[in-house]
Structures are given as C-alpha cells and as structure tokens.
Structure 1
C-alpha cells in the first residue's frame, strides 16, 4: 500500500484537530435566531433601559439603587461591549447621568455588600467611555469596602474579619462572593492595581474554605444547610468573574480554580433533563428556577470559553441550559419563574414557598451575563 506524503498526513492531522476543537466549542455557537445571544441580549437590555428603578417588587420608587438593578445594569453594559453596540452603551450611560445630579441620593452608601456592589457599574462605564467621573465614583466605593468601618451595618464579627485582612463587610453569606468580587474585580480592570483583585481573591478563599461542602455545593450560610439555587449562583458567578481577571501568578488562583471546578462538576450532576436547575439544587420536588440557572449557565459558558472546563462535557450542558432559559422570556422581554428576594432561613419549606416573579432583575441580570459571555 502506498504511503501518503508527509505533507498530506500533516494537513489531515491539523484538519482533524481543528474539527474536534470546533465540535467542542461549536456547541456555544450557531444558535437559532430567536435564541442567539445577539437577539436575546438586545431584547433584555432594551427592556432594562425602558424599566424604572425597581424596588424589590414594590410599587414605590427605591430609596437607593438596589443590587439586582446593579447586576442587570452591569450585564447590559457587558453585553453592549461584547456586541459592540455603542448606541446601547450611550443609553446605559444616559440612565446613569441623573445620579451625578438631581438623583444623587439614589447612589447607595458603600456600607454593606449589597450597596457596595453598585461601584461595578460606574467602573464599567469608565472602561467603556473613559469619563473620569465614573472612575472617581467607582474607585471611592471599592476603596471603602476595605476602608474604615462606618454606618449602621457594622457588626462585631465584621470587625473581627477586618483584623484578618478581609473586608469589614464580610458576613459569610454566599451572596457576598458576587457582591464583593464584582466591584473589586472591576476596580482592578479599571485601574490595573493588583491590590483590588488580590484582596478579593483572599476573601474568596476564606468563603470557599468555610462554606463549600464535600459535594461541591454551598450552604446558603453556615447555619442554613440548604443548597439554594440563586445563592449558589452568586458563588458560581463570583468565582467566574474573579478568575476571568485574576493574574496567573496569584497565590490564590489554584485554590479558587479548584473550588470552581468542584462546584461545576457538582452542578453537572444536578442539571435536569430539560437543562434547568431547581430552586433547591438537590431537591427534585422543588421547581425549575431561572435566576440560579442563568448564573450557573454563565459560569459554565465562561469556563468553556476560557479553557478551564472540558468543552466536550460542559459545552453541551451550557448550551442546553441557555436554550431552556430563553423559553422563559415573555413577549415583553421579561424572564419568568424568578425566585423573589430571599433572606436566609433554616427551613426547607421557606425556600420552596418563595414567590415566583416575572421580570425581576435577579432573573434579567444573568441572561445578560450569559449573552455577553457567549459573545466574549
């Protein structure tokens, strides 16, 4: 039998490798038009722009900008950047402009994790517009998280954490690991100063060591042994945002990556056949919930795109989740089946009985994160 020339063999090898690589990552491309990240992101972002400042479902305006709005605002900005939509960025900046003037009282004081995350929005606006007003405001907020404790939310345990080099806003709820890491990662991206992301990484390791369970998931809090979907979603999204920018020589990168991969492997086991995750992740009697599913989808998309996760395994899971999620968007651009704002409680029924809301920013935000991640 004749031997094929070496050049042909090499070409065939390259073709096979390229085909395999495309098959592995191609699962996160070529979506049907109505499910494409461009189409979905645009719909949800436009819905955000048209929405007044929300107040956790109440009909009255909020006293300050709420963290769910911050998360959706940041997601819309990320989508605008990745879709190269300058018009959208301008509209999102116009929404912010009154906060420098007549609506300045709506800017939250950075005295609690849920308030301090607001800084991630002006820091993103600075990166896209280079307007120094955004940098000044965002940096002041990020700095305050590790600054002198003040305000009604200062707790004795927070002061003890501060002595260990953590933020005085530490409270050991898994939600914190998005609220803290988002603003500190954004401050690092905007300034290039390592201190921001290094302290966020140190904080993340403490939360991983304290709250991650042997199965890879996280209790809502040390005294609440339930795997609440959105709570774990904050953790998954927070690790993804942090690892996306954490320098390779960070002494904490390996530990965070280890915790991230352990969580992703656990989530893979609990994904339902339709692609969704549930209100209580490990409880088959609980309902499919969109905000947690969106956050897990974002974490998996990011992991595949960054090369942290096996694309053959996690690519199809992320695609299935995304295609499931988009079916929950109604004709107004609102996401259905979103768990209402939730405190912690050591009671399974409490989590199962939470109201299911349509159009809540807790659910709008991760759809925008996913759309941006798919385009990134």
Structure 2
C-alpha cells in the first residue's frame, strides 16, 4: 500500500470516528431527547397492548407522564386523561396485588395538575378496603403481600404518592412495612440485588443456578426495584424517618449495577450470567439508566463515577429504537431471565422505561 492510499484511509477513518462521535453527542441534546421521546410515545399510542389498568400500562404511563413533563405535549396529556376516563380512574381488580395499583401513580400525578377528585377517589376507596382486609397468605411462594421484587415498582410509589398528596402518613407507613417485608425476604446483602421471588433464594433446599454457577438475578426485576426506589425517593420528605433506609439500598444497588454493565452499554436479561443471554435487554437497561441518571441529578451518586455509565447506556438505548419510534429488544412478560426476544421484540413497559430514562438524561449537567 503506497503512502497516498494509507493517508486516504487514515483520513477516512478519522472522519468516520468524528461522525460517530458527533452523532452520539447529539443524542444528549435537549432537542434530540424531546424528539425521540415524542416519537417513541406516539408509536406506542398507535400500537396499544393489554388492558389499560394493567401493570404493563402502569409502567408505560409512568413514562408518558415523565415525557409530558419533559416535552409539555398536550397530545400526551389528552391521552393520559382518556386512559383514566376509560378505566373510570380505578385500580385493577385484584385488591392486594401491587401490579393492579401501578396505574394509580399516573392518576395521582394527573390529579396534582387538574385537582379533580374523581382521579384519586377510587384509589382512596381501594386503599381503605386494602387496609381493612388481611392478605390471603399462600405458602410457600406468597408469604407476604409484596412477595415478588417487581412489586416494589408497582405498589410503593402509588401508596406514597397518595399519602404525600393527601398529607396522610398512614399510607407511607404502610408502604414502609410492606417494603421492609420484601427487603427481608428477597434482598441479597452480599450481591446487593433482589431475587425475583423466594424460588430464587440460595437458602432453599433446591438451589436454582445459572449455567455458570451464579445466582439468578433477573435484570428487569431489579430494574423495577431501582425505578421504584427513584419514584419513592422523589416523593419522601427530606426529613422522613425511613428515608435513609431507601437511600442505602439505592446506593448499594447502583454500585453493583454500574459494575456489571456490559461493554455495549446495556445489561443482559441475567445480571450475573450475561454470556448466556446475548442481546441487551431494553426494559431492565432503561430502568437502570433512569435510576442512575436520577441519582446523579439529585446528588445521591457521584457524578464522576456514574456519568460515564449513564452516557454509555443512553447511547446504547437509542441504538435500540427504530426510525418509526418502536423500542426494540424488550423481553416479553415473564419472571426470570430468558433468551426469548430479538431486536424486533417490544412491549409497552419497555417504552415506559425508555421514556423515564430520557426524562432524567435530559437534566444531566455534562
């Protein structure tokens, strides 16, 4: 190869690197983030899935409300009001099941803007019945009310949002009690991660392991927890007596999660056995990006340590969004790591996680 050809290749490579760097930097601009959030939201509106009160849409509309706050889109506001009206502003039908309370987070957020009692009255009545009715324990899998880690995104933020809105600590105290039960049952104090449910704890007679011998920690399940912690901490007063309990868990999990981010910027369906689950998983990765960015923005996480993690993750997440706004690489509904999804796989909660991530990335002081 003569020197002119070599020089040409070097120039070409330099321009390619610069173009890639410029494109990636653009993904952090306010204009770009608002545009991609709108595109993802509106694609999902055109492709609805599940009952509107379902937990899947609870996560999606949590993201939609965050996108509304970010963009000010009147179209998003109208869609949320339409959803609430369609649900008659009610929780799902299962009284004690946290999944059926997740949608109420958005009801309360809308109430704070519209001050319309019909938006929260059904949930107040549900909570009255909830507190008056003992949880029907089903051993061994369901020994407590919130017996699976995903519940910590679904239930606690709804309870605490209601309590803060009404100025009534009984809802916060109930959330504390139920959250602590889940923590005691499922939190691994060595790994600083949550087992999905009691089946995945290593103190059982029959121990479930990944193929590499590691414990099974589901990415989305732990993403639910970190996202739920953010939504709790955003609500709890700075001087709340149990706030430090949640902050400690958040920081422990953030440290662990940042250390197991994969080279492409994403997290795999199984956190401790990434090689068995190729392909970054959007819903878990989206919630981690949301949580870590929020932690930086609110002074709980060291910016120098965590900003590179968030930047890498946000760039990677944007690579999973189709030109039409569809958010791909989302693991289907489940309860454990699976290799059952592709770049074309989507779910409403994956879009919700992406929107939540964008709502905090846009606030980063880089």
TM-score, length-normalised on structure 2?
0.79
- Shift of the alpha carbon at 1:283? 1.0
Hey, what does 1:341 align to over in structure 2? 333
Q: Is the Cα–Cα contact under 8 Å of residues 328 and 345 in structure 2 kept in the other structure?
A: yes
- Residues of 2 paired with 1:231 and 1:299: CA distance? 14
Hey, what does 1:68 align to over in structure 2? 56
| Map 1:227-376 → 2, pairs under 5 A | 227-285=217-275, 286-287=277-278, 288-343=280-335, 351-356=337-342, 358-375=345-362
- Shift of the alpha carbon at 1:35? 8.4
Q: Is the Cα–Cα contact under 8 Å of residues 219 and 226 in structure 1 kept in the other structure?
A: yes
Hey, what does 1:22 align to over in structure 2? none
Hey, what does 1:15 align to over in structure 2? none
Deviates more, 1:356-365 or 1:263-272: 356-365
Hey, what does 1:348 align to over in structure 2? none
Deviations 1:224-280 (A, max 9, x none): 141110011111111111112212232322122111111110011100122101110
| Map 1:10-21 → 2, pairs under 5 A | none
Q: Secondary structure at the match of 1:338?
A: coil
1:80 to 68, 74, 77: 68
Distance 1:300 1:142, change over 3 A: farther
Deviations 1:32-53 (A, max 9, x none): 559833122111221232233x
Q: Is the Cα–Cα contact under 8 Å of residues 49 and 92 in structure 1 kept in the other structure?
A: no
1:137 to 88, 97, 122: 122
Deviates more, 1:133-142 or 1:30-39: 30-39
Hey, what does 1:212 align to over in structure 2? 187
Distance 1:35 1:68, change over 3 A: farther
Hey, what does 1:5 align to over in structure 2? none
- Residues of 2 paired with 1:373 and 1:137: CA distance? 30
- Shift of the alpha carbon at 1:30? 6.8
Task: Please list every run of 5 or more consecutive structure 1 residues that lacks an aligned counterpart in the other structure.
Answer: 1-28, 56-61, 162-167, 345-350
Distance 1:352 1:71, change over 3 A: closer
CA RMSD after TM alignment: 2.7
1:38 to 34, 42, 47: 34
- Residues of 2 paired with 1:132 and 1:308: CA distance? 34
Instruction: Tell me whether 1:195 sits opposite 2:151 in the alignment.
Output: no
Distance 1:118 1:145, change over 3 A: farther
| Map 1:164-203 → 2, pairs under 5 A | 170-203=145-178
Task: Please list every run of 5 or more consecutive structure 2 residues that lacks an aligned counterpart in the other structure.
Answer: 1-24, 201-214
Q: Is the Cα–Cα contact under 8 Å of residues 146 and 182 in structure 2 kept in the other structure?
A: no
Q: How many positions carry a matched residue from both structures?
A: 320
Hey, what does 2:93 align to over in structure 1? 109
- Residues of 2 paired with 1:317 and 1:268: CA distance? 6
- Residues of 1 paired with 2:29 and 2:121: CA distance? 40
TM-score, length-normalised on structure 1?
0.77
Deviates more, 1:229-238 or 1:65-74: 65-74
1:99 to 78, 87, 103: 87
